[in-house]
Structure 1
Amino acid sequence: MAKILIINGSPRKKNTYGLLKRIEKEFSGDTIEFINVSDYDVKACVGCEQCLRKGVCHINDDATKILDKMVEADGIIIGAPVYLRQIPGNLKNIFDRGCAWYHRSPIVGKPIFFVTTTQVTGTKSLMSYFKDLTVQWGVIYAGSINKTLFNLEKPYKIKKLDKFKKYSNKDNIIKYRPSMKQIFEFHTQKVLASEILPLDKTFWEEKGYMDKPYFYTCRINIVTRLLGYLYYKFLQNIISKNKTV
């Protein structure tokens, strides 16, 4: 039995909310928590970088409550309507407040599934942003269900959720095959941790990431491993040279 967190990122409880509620029924055998971001007081990030440099946020609101729920879940489903080819501001505030996760992700290896709604267009741009988030967080992009007003009520393919269900079981993570983009992002973060931010270095060393080809044991072929290592050494060399200038 997996613990699934469903996040409705819409300020309203209409189309996106309704679609998420339909999807919720597919997990009757699991423990489900359904939250609406609009029910929480989440202020905008002010860019002070205290979370990066000191590991704390000085803003006293509900952002940490939602971020903690994401950490505790085995799998996360995030729903959002398209707002000018992007996500609503209240949901963006959550992600911005988790800025440190790019450097020290506490949700590595969790599957994330996305649900989007739009009147007609904008889904591609929104999904591009969502996919970038999964790479930066070190999580597994487990697919999406994308609807417009023209097909909102039509049934979705249940098999779209298969990958999400598979990786909600932690034992299956060893079967995952990260993309080249994920490998390169991992090594970019590793260089930042080893050469730039002391807090990152401590975190990465404690997690044992420094000596690994990726965050966790999974399927990485020898060519991908080699390219990742060469990319890491290339970045490390550039930073080392800049330090001596």
Structure 2
Amino acid sequence: MKKVIAISSSGRKKNTYKLIESTRQLLKDAEIELEIVHLADLNIRDCRGCDACILTDKCPVKDEVTDVLNRMQEADGLILTSPVYMAGVSGQLKRFIDRTCRWYHRPALVGKPILLMTTTAGGYAKDVLTYLNKVSTFWGCRSCGEIFRTVRSWDVGVTEKELEAFIQAIHQQRPWKPDMNQVITFQVQKALAFYALPRDQSYWKEHRWLDAVYYEGSQVAWYQKLVGQSFFKLLSRGMKNQKKTSKD
């Protein structure tokens, strides 16, 4: 049976948590097991901003984050959620995301299907989903839908149609087609791998991404390839000039 890890980031187990739970039977019917990781139940400390994870692949902060990250890497799919707090994600989730900084430089969840969810008593659901989408793109995930509920629809569970793309991606029944923003983000990360840190360059070379427009296994349209390649050349030119200036 396939397995999905859902990250619950509210301070309580109420509206967003219930929305996650509403997927359990539908996922089970599709032979997918759901495990919910409720961040408020875990010992998760703030990122120190020391860059150790980027420079050495090791984080000096000892808590339960490493275990969660390992389980996310082992899962067949992910559900990333947050209620809307002050027009943004919850503090619990931001603290957790900050601890994944290394995955921006060296993506560890490439091709992993991900479903995004939020609930709100007011507005800003789109803002939260946009941020979650950006983070999951940094991680290398495969976007499979966005779901939100407002005060008028809190009691409406996730529907089979809303889960369709996610389930099909987990069972590898749907092609992976990134959008233009994701292709451009990839080019930015690739440029940094080329010109910033040797550790990043080795990682990207090992995974054969340095000559790619996007990750292996994805279907990139011709115009996305053209824009992506042009954007990378522009970035490279700027980084080369900056590097040359800093040496002079």
Match of 1:140 in 2: 142
Name the CA distance, whole Å, in 1 between partners of 2:158 and 2:63: 36
Alpha-carbon separation, structure 2, partners of 1:17 and 1:187: 35
Q: Which string of whole-angstrom CA distances, capped at 9 and with x for unpartnered residues, describes residues 19-78 of structure 1?
A: 211112211121222221111100011111111111111000011111111111111012
Give the structure 1 partner of residue 24 of structure 2.
Answer: 24
CA distance in 2, matches of 1:206, 1:91: 31
* Equivalent in the alignment of 1:162: 164
Q: Which runs of structure 2 are paired with 1:66-105 in the superposition (5 Å)?
A: 66-105=68-107
SS of aligned partner of 1:114: strand
Alignment check: 8 A CA contact 1:38 1:90 kept: yes
- Give 1:172 shift: 4.2
Question: Which one is further off, 221-230 or 100-109?
Answer: 221-230
Q: What secondary structure, in the 3-state scheme, does the structure 2 residue paired with 1:142 have?
A: strand
Is 1:135–1:181's contact at 8 Å kept on the other side of the alignment?
no
Match of 1:84, SS state, is: coil
The match for 2:5 is 5
Counterpart-to-counterpart distance in 1, 2:68 and 2:3? 15
Alpha-carbon distance, 1:196 to partner: 0.8
Q: Distance in 1 between matches of 2:89 and 2:139?
A: 18
Give the equivalent residue in structure 2 for 1:36: 38
Paired residues, number: 243
Please list every run of at least 4 consecutive aligned residues from structure 1 whose deviation after the TM superposition is greater than 4 angstroms: none
Counterpart in the other structure of 2:127: 125
- Residue 138 of structure 1 contacts residue 182 of structure 1 at CA under 8 Å; is this kept in 2? no
Structure 2: unaligned runs, 5 residues or longer:
none
Q: CA deviation at 1:166?
A: 1.3
The within-5 A match list for 1:192-207 is: 192-207=192-207
Q: Distance in 2 between matches of 1:21 and 1:182?
A: 29
Q: Which runs of 5+ in 1 are unaligned?
A: none
Matches within 5 A, 1:160-199: 160-169=162-171, 171-172=172-173, 175-199=175-199
* TM-score, scaled relative to structure 1: 0.94
Letter in 1 for 2:18: G
